[in-house]
Structure 1
Amino acid sequence: MPLLELSDAQIGGWVSTFLLPLFRIASLLMTMPVIGTQLVPLRVRLYLALAVSVVLVPSLPPMPAVDALSLQTWLLIAQEVLIGVMMGFTLQLFFHAFVIGGQILSTQMGLGFASMVDPTNGVSVPVIGQFFTVLVTLLFLAMNGHLVVFEVLAESFTSLPVGESLVSQHYWAIATRLGWVMGASLLLVLPAITALLVINLAFGVMTRAAPQLNIFSIGFPLTLLLGLGIVWIGTADILSQYQVFATEALQFMRELVRAS
């Protein structure tokens, strides 16, 4: 019985048809929030990347023919990994806007010392920041944000095909968004910070008017209590802010993989 003989062209065709899209898909799933966190085992993420690749590959445009062991193939793999990581890092910036906002608010209201371990990243964050992280994760899943990410991923193989060179704007586009994260974080907690600033100014005036009062003994717990009340009231408006930030982040991710 003759053995199955495969030529270099057939092996290279299989590699370019399935493995090159797999690297982009797997890189996105390894770095994006929710799925790419420590809560999801690495093996599960890999199986999910394989499943998405099997479903997505038949509908993708033709892949370039490459030699499986050539330097060009390794460069294409590195480029696909870079594209997937850039898309995932864009979503990480969106999530961290809420985390940084929670950290700023915690420091302002005196809860900066109260921290807990974030199971998604394995680092300690203030409790308000962790609360915002859980809240934005639930909103992201409830409003089908993960499905939009998969849609953008499928469109990226048409707008930025495998093998097309990345222009300089793709390398520096994320760097221009780092300032957007801080601006979004401040905008998210600006009403609460303003209210707490007014409260601290009132305590300062009371201290100057009546120095004999021990204002620190009542100022700290009262600021903490009022800060929690402000956070509770502010959660009523977080959905509208989430929609604005999520729309901008997903639109930026779509523009990131658009060739020009």
Structure 2
Amino acid sequence: MGSIESLLNVDYLITFFLVIIRISGILFTAPVFGSGVVDLRLRLFFSIIIGLLIVSNVPILSFQNVSTVLFILIVLKELLIGVATGLLARFIFTGVQFGGQLIGFQMGFGVVNILDPQTNTQVSIIAQFQNIIMILIFLAIGGHRLIIKAVAYSFNTVPLGLFVFDSKSYFFLVSEFGSIFLTAIKIIAPVFVTLLLLHVVMGIMARLVPQMNILIVGFPVQIAFGLVVLLLSLTYFYTVFEKILYQYFKSIDQLFRMLGG
């Protein structure tokens, strides 16, 4: 079908619109793409460009006998598929930020918060540090390209107009949401265990040497220990986050197969 004929074909235009809806749902919620730093018009522009590249491989649907209510449901379905895909990736970043919040609290940085431009919320300085490292790792291993690849793959597994959301899919999404805390535990394990042992040692010292002001001595010591262990665990952080990210794409494949019936 030529380009001029495509523009005059209503079914083609509606199909293209649905493709953009699904892509927008992903790009508006996925990490990096969905950041508040990225302008809204730029995200929409990326959605249209990717849609133009994908729509040629998507079967053109016929909407001649489709009612308005059914069409609205189809649009909502495409949006939900995109949002679910992007949120699964966002869960990983949220889990790491949650772990950073715990580490910052343990180190005594509970009141030292800065603005996270991605979520427009106040987060711990340690959480923001880990978030920046996480974004750099995400870009270094090609996570942005894998997200776009997942967008294109979704149309093969979950064709336009099809949507199967049963209890199995619901429980899968809930379990993935619960993995936020598991992600946080994996990321903060070295620093958290070290600070916990340090607190035990300082508690014993406070009992053995009552003359020592443990509050004055303890704060700089736990900050120093926390920063050193955090620096030494960056390699571990990279390894764990890379495995978690690749596990995410396996989860996306599983979700698409569920939604595709």
Do they superpose with TM above 0.5? yes
Alpha-carbon separation, structure 2, partners of 1:171 and 1:48? 29
Within a 5 Å distance, the mapping from 1:1-260 to structure 2 comes to: 10-11=9-10, 13-60=11-58, 62-67=59-64, 70-168=68-166, 169-258=168-257, 259-260=260-261
Shift of 1:45: 0.6
SS at match of 1:257: helix
Asked if the contact 1:16/1:65 (under 8 Å) is kept, the reply is no
Match of 2:121, as an amino acid?
Answer: V
Tell me, yes or no, if the aligned pair for 1:25 and 1:153 is still in contact at 8 Å.
yes
Quote how far apart the aligned CAs of 1:214 are: 1.3
Give yes or no for contact 1:23–1:80 (8 Å, CA) kept in 2: yes
Q: Residue 101 of structure 1: CA displacement?
A: 1.0
Task: Give the C-alpha shift of residue 23 in structure 1.
Answer: 0.6
Aligned-partner Cα distance in 1 for 2:130–2:45: 29
Q: Note the C-alpha offset of 1:90.
A: 0.4
Cα offset, 1:100, TM superposition = 0.8
Deviations along 1:121-158, whole A, 9 cap, x unmatched? Answer: 11100011001111111111111111111111111111
Give 3-state SS (helix, strand or coil) of 1:256's partner: helix
Aligned counterparts of 2:24 and 2:210: Cα–Cα separation in 1: 63
Deviation digits for residues 216-260 of structure 1 (CA, Å, limit 9, x no counterpart): 111111111111111111112211111111011121112111123
Asked whether the equivalents of residues 88 and 177 of structure 2 are also in contact (C-alpha less than 8 Å), the reply is no
Q: CA deviation at 1:69?
A: 6.4
| Aligned residues with identical type, % of pairs | 27
Cα distance in 2, alignment partners of residues 241 and 113 from structure 1: 28
User: Match of 1:124, SS?
Assistant: strand
Asked if the contact 2:103/2:188 (under 8 Å) is kept, the reply is: yes
SS at match of 2:28: helix
Name the SS of the counterpart of 1:107 in structure 2. Answer: helix
Q: Whole-Å Cα distance in 1 between the matches of residues 68 and 201 of structure 2? A: 70
- Quote the Cα distance in structure 2 between the aligned partners of 1:228 and 1:186: 18
Amino acid at match of 2:239: S
C-alpha contact 2:12 2:61 (8 A) present in aligned 1:
no
8 Å contact from structure 1 (residues 196, 227) kept in 2: yes
Moved over 4 A (4+): none
Q: Deviations over 1:67-89 (max 9, x none)?
A: 47622211110100000000010
Does the Cα contact within 8 Å between 1:97 and 1:185 map onto a contact in 2? yes
| CA distance in 1 between partners of 2:45 and 2:211 (Å) | 67
Aligned Cα root-mean-square deviation (Å)? 1.7
- 8 Å CA contact 1:63–1:162 kept in 2: the answer is no
DSSP-derived class of the 1:116 partner: strand
